Chains A and B, each alone.
Chain A
Amino acid sequence: MPPDPTVAEAAPRANATTPRLGSAAFVTLIGGVVLLATLETAQALLAPSRAPTKADWTAAAAEVRAGLQSGDLIVAAPAWADPQVRMVLGDVISIPMATRMDDARYGRVWELAVHGAHADEAHGTATRERRFGAVTVRLVERPPAVVTYDFLEHWNEASVWRWDPAARAATACPWQGERFTCASGGSVHRELVEVDTRIRRGLLAPPVTGAILAIEFPAVPLGRELVLAAGLHDVWARKYANGTVNVEVWIDGQPVRNATIGNRSGWQSLTVDTSARAGQTRPVRVQIASPQPNLRHLAFAAEARR
């Protein structure tokens, strides 16, 4: 390396100041840094050994299997641990359970948790709790909602049509193969959807241009409430389009609730109080429309609950 013309050896410089000895702030500062470095090093060395192992997951899964009852919900906490739970219990976690609309119908929830986390679904009274290494298994019980009508299970009982406001005409969308299909555009079918980067099961009913898409369930046994959840399917569609979708719930020919669903809505839940009609069987219609329907893959699920 050639000598650098901008740099020369320095002569020893005089000590400019006498440090303030015993300065509490300085001692705290340097002590704090040394302590921090020690803690951080120790944490980096020890943390990997505190992570859950495959054996922990397997033992936790055995505990769940031993007490599992039909209709139990199994969840992971935090949510990012879900694949680990599915790897060891995926044979008893059905796709409908994993893609549920919400957790209200489940009276018993098995939570497999790491790092002291708790799942939103695991609310209620903890009736069992055991630790397997880094994994904690907790059984939570609470009164479940009784579903009087699951719209997804009865979706092929629905009738679907397009309402064209300009022509003031309704056109039926008949059942064709595995979906309702409208001759002039539009379809409704049940499938797995990705809403807000989570997989759900829903009726995929994208809005159509210049018309209202209506899905009517002719005989819904109503209970205390009707819950509908809706959102926009497909991460790419949410990226490349930004229109909103209006979702209206009609009961017995009357609008009772509506919501505007957009890219930020996530899986939005609407609750309709049906206690005045509890025990009655009534038609329920979901109407879907959008001023900008391009790439608006609206999906919804709904339940009537006692």
Chain B
Amino acid sequence: MTIRARDRWIGLGLFFGVVACLLASEGGQGFGRDEGQYMRAGERYWGWFEELARDVHEGHPTRAFSAASIDRYWSDNAPDHPVIMKTLYGLSWRAFHRCTCTGPARGLHPIPVRGRHVSLPLFVRDSTAFRFPAMLMAGLLAWLVFRFARAFLPVPAAAAASVLTIAQPHYFFHAPIACFDAPITTMAFAVGFAYWKSLRSARWGLASGAVFGLALGVKHNAWLMPFFLALHYLWMRRGDLRRWRPPRVPLAFVSMALAGPVVFFLHWPWLWHHPVDRTRSYLLRHLEHEHYNFEYLGRNWNLPPTDGDLKLLRATFPFVSTALTVPVTTLALAVIGAAVLARRRCKAATNQAWTPADDTTLFEGDAAPAGRSDVAMPVAAPLGASWLRPGVDVDRAPGAFIAVQALGPLAILSLPSTPIFGGVKHFMPAMPYVAIAAAVGLAFLTERGLAALRARWGLERRERGLAAALAVWVCLPAVVETRRSHPDGLSHYNMLAGGFAGGASLGMNRQFWAYCVLPMLDWVNSHPAEHGRMYWHDVLGDALSMYKREGRLAMSVGDTGFAEPGVDRSAMGVLVEEKHWALYEKFIWEHYGHLRPSLVRDREGVPLVLGYQRKGPP
């Protein structure tokens, strides 16, 4: 088997392995406020395609493109988020759900159900069908990371980069759900990957624009990507700056500037009839986004801080959160990898006999034949760079590339004016690069360790096995920790913090948007005399509809509405444990007349959701 073929199989194995793990585990994760909305929107967007098919069938193919028809479907969840993922969620649901749509839950669909759907019923639950594209995107990320890392690293370390990217409790939590944070992590990596390749390939320069356009259609994090890439580009071509010559604007940036907005506009029907006004409202929606409540180091943050001490504390948020959520072994390896990459830069500056292939050599001794002969290396491209291939005459500075891609998102989130309500998910695009840095550290340790063994004990024949064993060993804690965290990855903190309990004691955010109520549903179902008047606190109607559609929640369960009036009308209720929800627990104590929960859902002793009954526990 050729090296390429072997890499292809490993890449595919990682892709399918990740998708399989996510499919096997996603059923334990409930629906949050946002996910329920995106599922609803995805199904509604599908309704537009149904209408388009009907119009075509009736000989009026343009009718579905009228402003009224488009707005009827595509105004859902606008201007909040563009629609690539939501459309994929809707299409996946339509294609793969097992239709019970004409049963008792018929009225819970956001569009009229005209009859039994013919589908390929791959999944038992509607939600799995909705979530499937997100899982594919996570698999794609695993594959892309492996492929990128293989340019620098041997197979075990490159595979470890891929595994360590996925095996992070917070990433793994977001990976299977029908939202955008894991998909934009994939797209951010894809944009970086395309840009990296574009430095020596015009074809990739053209592709960068399309990939960036697709990223814009996934989530607004994409707006920031060119800035990070530009930083790297300026660093890579710092020789031009030293000679007072402005660097050439590379094809990738031209392509991103031209194709990006076009793809973005074309993918979102809601923009078609009012492109300027609606693009503006989309931009403003995020530039002026509200700061929702979020706990960090014992404080509830819901505004940009104005006091100096709080600004300083707030600036530490992404760095402390990373330090307390990413598995510790991964972090330690990433620190070693960062040191290796920083040292490489110093050496590269003094290397006189430079060739383009050298920028895949990350550290001295990085080419031991037995362990590294299979490393794919860049072709020594002809010198004489142009804007089409601006990286052929210079070292592409992989360390700087990884640094800006990892630190860029963290730096943005360290600005006190940036909302932090999503926690780690807001800077998750940094995480693949943290994992790659860890893999660089692993490769360094492996190479040096094997060389030492080789010299002392002559263990050449066992080198591959030892390298693989070390890679597996350092991935093990991340995998075990991720397994431990499931399905409550949002509440999980690493060994430095002390796990779930340590995170709670440090005053780190426990969760958001009520993903955690799924294990409470049996308790709710088991109280038919009371659950008709159920207070759902932070759980939105869209999530309740989905639970009912899937048979996880009895159709007789009611919803008394929000806040104090909702509590007042209720006979039982749930309360999600977050710092700022104390106000709502007060409503329950006042209206129920007692403070004793009937049920506490916890992880390792840390309360996540409380169940109350007006009449008190039995």
Contacts from A to B (Cβ < 8 Å): 1, 3-19, 21-22, 26, 29-30, 32-34, 36-41, 43-45, 47-48, 51-52, 78, 80-81, 83-84, 86-87, 90-91, 93, 95, 98, 114-115, 117, 134, 191-194, 197-199, 234-236, 239, 264
Contact = CB atoms under 8 A, between A and B. Distances in A.
Contacts of B589: 95, 192, 199
Contacts of A235: 293, 300, 302, 580, 582-583
Nearest to B606: A80
B375 A83 contact: no
Contact of B480 (A36, A45, A98): A45
Interface in B480-514: 480-481, 483-484, 494-495, 498-501, 504-505
20 contacts: A6-B200, A6-B201, A6-B381, A8-B377, A16-B365, A18-B455, A26-B449, A34-B473, A34-B474, A39-B495, A40-B328, A40-B329, A40-B495, A43-B499, A44-B481, A87-B617, A90-B594, A191-B590, A199-B582, A199-B586
Interface string B218-243: 00000000000000000000000000
A235 B587 CA distance: 13
B8 interface: yes
A80 B201 contact: no
Closest 4 CB pairs of A and B: A90-B596, A13-B367, A40-B477, A51-B604
A9 B3 contact: yes
B327 A40 contact: yes
Interface SS majority for chain A:
mixed
A8 B452 CA distance: 29
A16 B365 CA distance: 5
A114 to B, nearest CB: 6
Contacts of B366: 16
A38 B480 CA distance: 11
A51 B605 contact: yes
B592 to A, nearest CB: 10
Contacts of A37: 329, 473-474, 476-477
Contact of B596 (A29, A86, A117): A86
B373 interface: yes
B522 interface: no
A41 B476 contact: yes
Interface string B576-603: 0101101101100110001111111010
A94 B373 CA distance: 72
B372 interface: yes
Contacts of B245: none
A47 B582 contact: no
B582 A33 contact: no
A236 B292 CA distance: 10
A234 B367 CA distance: 63
Contacts of A15: 365, 367-369, 451
B364 interface: yes
Contacts of A45: 480, 484
B448 A12 contact: no
A117 B498 CA distance: 13
B452 to A, nearest CB: 5
Given A192-B586, A235-B582, A239-B303, A19 B596 contact: no
B332 interface: yes
A48 B3 CA distance: 42
B363 to A, nearest CB: 9
Given A7-B151, A33-B445, A44-B480, A193 B586 contact: yes
